[in-house]
């Protein structure tokens, strides 16, 4: 007996596997798109209140200096009111150091030319807005050359203006994505088995079998005939 295995195309299938992988790369870049400027102000009081200013002939006719610091762009605002006329001086630090002592000015009556940045004489009220050209320390000085005591109200302040530059930046984002694809396939087949059986005779051909059959039939006829004759003899 022989057997043969065959593949049937109708029973074959393909298995497909897809593998996807991706890689994302993100980059950032910053660049300047412009400059903006912002300003802020701060006010610092130099003095705000009443000042009793003695008359000429007394040491108190010259006030103490009221100091403040200022830079170019800053603004000094001064206002005063007095019941009698007085003199006003705005001095740098160097000029203030050259002012004679109050005793010399008020008691001895020595009245030199007083150096100043700004001066105003014989005023009962005065207003000033001023900005320095150089940074430094400055002084406000009041002087009473009248025989009576002056009652003065002084208000002075410095407003500082600060400018700030702000760089405006912009950021760009770049995203790159790469995709990798891998496809694999597999052929899957079912096997059909066809079995072919071949019977083999015991070495006898068809013709030989036929002769054997004829001989058997003739032998049977001969036996039947012999038995018939034997019965006939007994009967006779």
pLDDT of amino acid 174: 72
pTM of the complete model = 0.55
Same domain as 145, residue 70: yes
Instruction: Tally Cβ neighbours within 10 Å of residue 118.
Output: 15
Domain presence at residue 219: yes
Give the CATH number for residue 58.
2.60.120.680
pLDDT of amino acid 234: 59
Per-residue exposure over 78-87, b if at least 16 CB sit within 10 Å of its own CB, e if not = bebebebebb
- Closest to 126 in 3D by CA, of 88, 157, 158, 91: 88
| Structural domain span for residue 224 | 205-236
pLDDT of amino acid 19: 62
Q: How many domains does the chain have?
A: 2
Same domain as 209, residue 151: no
Domain presence at residue 174: no
Q: Is residue 233 helix, strand or coil? A: helix
Provide DSSP, 8-66. -GGG-EEEEEEEEEEEEEEEEEEEEEEEEEEEEEEEEEEEEEEEEEPPTTSGGGBPPPE
Same domain as 146, residue 218: no
pLDDT of amino acid 153: 98
Domain presence at residue 135: yes
Same domain as 155, residue 51: yes
How do the pLDDT tens digits run along the chain, 236 residues long?
444 444 454 455 555 566 656 677 777 677 676 777 777 889 999 999 999 999 888 878 888 899 999 999 999 999 999 999 999 999 999 999 988 877 777 777 666 678 899 999 999 999 999 999 999 999 999 999 898 999 999 999 999 977 777 777 777 777 766 655 555 555 544 444 444 444 334 445 667 777 777 777 788 787 777 777 766 655 55
Same domain as 133, residue 56: yes
pLDDT of amino acid 181: 56
């Amino acid at each position: 007996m022989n057997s043969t295995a065959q593949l049937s195309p109708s029973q074959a299938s393909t298995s497909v596997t897809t593998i996807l992988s991706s890689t994302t790369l993100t980059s950032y870049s910053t660049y300047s798109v412009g400059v903006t400027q912002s300003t802020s102000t701060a006010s610092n009081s130099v003095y705000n209140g009443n000042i009793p200013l003695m008359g000429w002939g007394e040491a108190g006719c010259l006030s103490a200096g009221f100091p403040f610091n200022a830079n170019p762009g800053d603004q000094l605002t001064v206002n005063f009111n007095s019941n009698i006329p007085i003199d006003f001086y705005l001095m740098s630090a160097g000029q203030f150091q050259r002012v004679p002592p109050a005793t010399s000015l008020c008691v001895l009556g020595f009245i030199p030319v007083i150096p100043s940045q700004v001066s105003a004489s014989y005023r009962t009220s005065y207003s000033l807005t001023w900005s320095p050209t150089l940074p430094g320390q400055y002084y406000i000085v009041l002087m009473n050359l009248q025989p009576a005591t002056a009652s003065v109200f002084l208000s002075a302040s410095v407003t500082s203006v600060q400018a700030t530059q702000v760089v405006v930046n912009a950021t760009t984002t770049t995203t790159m994505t790469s995709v990798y694809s891998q496809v694999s396939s597999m052929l899957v087949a079912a096997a059909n088995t066809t079995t072919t059986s071949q019977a083999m005779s015991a070495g006898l051909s068809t013709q030989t079998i036929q002769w054997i059959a004829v001989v058997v039939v003739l032998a049977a006829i001969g036996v039947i005939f012999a038995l018939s004759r034997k019965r006939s003899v007994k009967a006779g």
